[in-house]
Amino acid sequence: MRKPIIAGNWKMNKTAKEAEQLIAELKPLVKGAKPEVVVCVPYTDLWAVSKAIEGSKIKLGAENVAWADSGAFTGEISADMLKEIGVEYVIIGHSERRQYFGETDESVNARLKQALKKGLKPIVCVGETLTEREKNKTKRVLKKQVIDGFKDITAEDFASIVIAYEPVWAIGTGKTATAEDANKTIGFIRSLVKKTWGAQVGKELRIQYGGSMKPSNAKELMAMRNIDGGLIGGAALKAEDFAGIVNYKK
Ligand code: 13P
């Protein structure tokens, strides 16, 4: 059985003070959470949030990680820096990184290898744009992102990996993929992983859906066979909304 995982991606929102406030509000609301709960927050919030989540089930995540151990990489943050603060998860290859900051499947692959080497749990994002979807290229795009992004990754590595399927056209737009559609596409990713890394790996791999997920659609999405969780943007910024997704079963 795959344990559901609901992760917030705060993106470039919340100062450290605001972050403390949000976690304080969130803590009581997710006390009895059934899924694994993660908050991936800006680097400047990590320290404050690591303290604020103490005594709760909430786990700490970052929004990226450098591919090198250390050195002349202005503006980057290393895996050791994250680990020392108590970071457990790290988002890699978010579509906004690909779109605005030149991330490619190759850089995603390098960051992924580094995260694994250092014992961070990667949440690797894949997804097609609207144009790609309209041109019927979804499968081709996802296949390239998975095969190139996960180059040299072993079956054993997959034990700590989560994939987030985020159709770019559904991010921050209010448009959600229908639950059936998301399930089908995630099923395609799962079968691709099965074919490439083995049936067991594909069966055990947790794959999240991301894109305008909110309390009102979480239950339907989470009821799908292939969907094991959500990567939540906008709705992760309000304690009540994020908790509403975490507690989708209630
Ligand atoms: P929204 O939930 O705001 O659509 O963002 C999804 C996302 O990009 C999470 O990584």
The pTM assigned to this predicted structure is 0.98
Instruction: Name, in order, each residue with C-beta under 8 angstroms of 234's C-beta and a sequence gap of 6 or more.
Output: 172, 212, 214
pLDDT tens string 34-65: 999 999 999 999 999 999 999 999 999 999 99
Buried b / exposed e across 219-236, counting CB within 10 Å, b at 16+?
eebbebebbbbbbbbbbb
In the residue annotation, 156 being an active-site residue is answered as no
Determine how many CB atoms are found less than 10 A away from the CB of residue 133: 18
Tokens of 4: 């559901």
Q: Does residue 151 register a pLDDT over 90?
A: yes
In the residue annotation, 94 being an active-site residue is answered as yes
Tell me what pLDDT residue 177 has.
85
pLDDT tens string 10-21: 999 999 999 999
Distance 127 CA to ligand 1 centre (A): 12
Tell me what pLDDT residue 227 has.
98
Distance 96 CA to ligand 1 centre (A): 10
Q: Does residue 178 register a pLDDT over 90?
A: yes
Which CATH number is associated with domain 5-246? 3.20.20.70
Give the residue from 249, 203, 187 showing the smallest Cα distance to 222. 249
- The secondary element (H helix, E strand) that includes residue 114 is helix 105-117
- The Cα 97–Cα 73 span in angstroms is 17
Indicate which atom in ligand 1 lies nearest the CA of residue 234.
Answer: 3
Indicate which atom in ligand 1 lies nearest the CA of residue 236.
Answer: 2
Tell me what pLDDT residue 60 has.
99
Domain ranges of the chain: 5-246
Distance 174 CA to ligand 1 centre (A): 10
| Beta carbons of 93 and 61 less than 8 angstroms apart | no
Rounded to 5°, the CA angle 54-8-57 comes to: 30
Tell me what pLDDT residue 174 has.
84
pLDDT tens string 200-222: 999 999 999 999 999 999 999 99
Distance 80 CA to ligand 1 centre (A): 27
Ligand 1: residues within 6 Å at CB? 9, 94, 166, 171-172, 210-213, 231-235
Catalytic residue, chosen from 94, 96, 128, 132, is: 94
Split at pLDDT 50, 70, 90, the class of 148 is very high
Indicate which atom in ligand 1 lies nearest the CA of residue 94.
Answer: 10
Average pLDDT estimate for 59-77:
98
Pocket test for ligand 1, best of 166, 221, 238 (most atoms within 8 A of CB): 166
